[in-house]
A and B are shown apart, each in its own frame.
Chain A
Amino acid sequence: MKLTLRVWRQQNADAPGTMATYPVDGISEDMSFLEMLDTLNEELTLKGEEPVAFDHDCREGICGACSLVINGDAHGPERTTTCQLHMRSFDDGDTIDVEPWRAAAFPVVKDLVVDRSAFDRIIQSGGYISAPTGAAPEAHSTPVPKPDADFAFEHAECIGCGACVAACPNGSAMLFTSAKINHLNVLPQGAPERETRVLDMVAQMDEEGFGGCTLTGECATACPKGIPLPSIAAMNKEWLRATRKVSR
């Protein structure tokens, strides 16, 4: 396959960036999108140019490190992570636009790499449970109803990649935050912090400068782990409940 890439190049957080055009040749349709970028970077390195910086880690679709907005879609045209996106999703001769996640709360570090520490701070503000340490407890000592376990697991699938923020026209992090809150709030282990968790995590989310939700549903469409849009409604319900219960 022969492709034309238009890639966002930006030296550092303060430098102005621009879309640079690169032709790439000899791409197999069995390559992943990241392997295609590796090919480009090898060529750039051989020519003495600076390779394109992009985030990646496990390349198995489970770590949440890779990002990229490809032709306007977070993680590209398939519903998966960029590392699991294959070049067979594109046609020979295509021009592909590659951009970083765009959000005030995700400043560009370099080229396609953005700083997603805002997510870490949201997690730190309430994405934990208080549990006694020591020997592993008996698994059946705390019964969890099957529907609750399923609901928790569905939301625990969130890998925190930030595609929801990148896809949202408002740069909102509500799908991410709702996944983290719902995951723990439905379980008995998360019950002691049920109110403070949702209040603190939503407050931290606002603090980071993410936008509000207008229910466009772009986040849920982009999410590689299929976190559903009603998660946000579930979070709102928890938030309203906590606001009523806790006077602050």
Chain B
Amino acid sequence: MARTLLKSTVGKKTIMAVSGLIMLMYLVVHMLGNLKIFFGAGEFNHYAHWLRTLGEPFLHYEWALWLIRVVLVAAVVAHAVSAYQLSRLDRRARPVAYAHKRRRASYATRTMRWGGIILALFIVWHLLDLTTGTVHPGGFQEGHPYQNVVDTFSTWYSGVIYIVAMLALGLHIRHGFWSAAQTLGAGNATRDRVLKATANALALVLTVGFIAVPVAVMTGVVS
């Protein structure tokens, strides 16, 4: 079964769909957590600390967080490897292009591959900025996420990088969620409208929810 799953194009798509849905679930939680910033430094920092003590006393300090990180890294790797393999197959399947060019499919559909690469680069920057603090513009303080977020978005370029990436995320989810549903066999003629509406709603809510934070910092609502 595992071999069939890894070898087949349908299997590779299944891996993409499942890993994508895992990341999507994480993003919903992440976005909701981010919005706590609007309740002030105390509550936001407390929430960040709680993430580290989650599962105690059964789990050790930060174990839950590391568990989530391991699952996420596995999902990202599985998603990226499948995407790379499928893209190579797709390109090889059409070696000679049509002379008559015309625009095919929607913007979200056409930008899945480049959007995915933009998101991968964004994740690297995002981790170096707010998790490790390596490229953080201010003095990065471990355990003071509120101040770190405010420092990051006090520079114009961080805001731009973040907002562009979140727009790419919205487009990626818009086509990705619907595609994942089809790949997992959930699509049919009557259900497709609901699936498309759900994909659009998820894309919109996540994009707006994530962008709210840099916009709030840049406009001085959060400082």
Contacts and interface: CB of A to CB of B under 8 A. Distances in A.
Interface of A: 6, 8, 19, 69, 71-73, 97, 99, 102-105, 169-172, 199, 202-203, 205-206, 209-218, 228-230, 232-240, 243-244, 247-248
A133 to B, nearest CB: 33
A172 B93 CA distance: 7
Contact of B13 (A69, A199, A205, A213): A213
B1 A212 contact: no
22 contacts: A6-B99, A69-B98, A71-B100, A99-B98, A172-B93, A205-B9, A206-B9, A210-B93, A211-B9, A211-B92, A215-B109, A216-B104, A228-B189, A230-B187, A232-B182, A232-B187, A233-B183, A233-B185, A233-B187, A233-B188, A239-B8, A248-B4
A104 B90 contact: no
Contact of B188 (A211, A230, A240): A230
Contacts of B97: 102
A170 B90 contact: yes
Interface in B77-132: 86, 89-102, 104-105, 109, 112
A200 to B, nearest CB: 11
Interface of B: 1, 3-5, 7-14, 86, 89-102, 104-105, 109, 112, 175, 178-179, 181-189, 192
Given A104-B95, A171-B94, A209-B92, A234 B188 contact: yes
A105 B90 CA distance: 12
A215 B98 contact: no
B4 A199 contact: yes
A8 B109 CA distance: 29
Nearest to B187: A233
Nearest to A173: B93
A73 B11 CA distance: 30
A236 B185 contact: yes
A78 B15 CA distance: 37
Contact of B11 (A170, A218, A243): A243
A169 B175 CA distance: 16
Contacts of A244: 1
Contacts of B99: 6, 8, 19, 97, 99
A52 to B, nearest CB: 15
B185 A172 contact: no
Contacts of A169: 90, 94, 104-105
B131 to A, nearest CB: 32
Contacts of A216: 104-105, 109
B93 A72 contact: no
A211 B175 contact: no
B185 A209 contact: no
A66 B59 CA distance: 66
Contacts of A238: 185
B94 to A, nearest CB: 4
A218 B105 contact: yes
Contacts of A99: 98-100
B79 to A, nearest CB: 14
Contacts of B109: 214-216
Contacts of B13: 212-213, 236
Residue of B4, B11, B91 contacting most chain A CB atoms (<10 Å):
B4
A199 B5 CA distance: 11
Contacts of A203: 8
A206 B12 CA distance: 12
A103 B112 contact: no
B179 A170 contact: no
Nearest to A209: B93
Given A206-B8, A247-B1, 19 more contacts: A69-B100, A72-B101, A73-B102, A105-B93, A170-B94, A172-B90, A211-B9, A211-B94, A212-B12, A213-B183, A214-B90, A215-B183, A230-B192, A236-B10, A236-B13, A237-B184, A240-B185, A243-B4, A248-B4
A157 B91 CA distance: 29
A210 B90 CA distance: 7
B90 A72 contact: no
A213 B105 contact: no
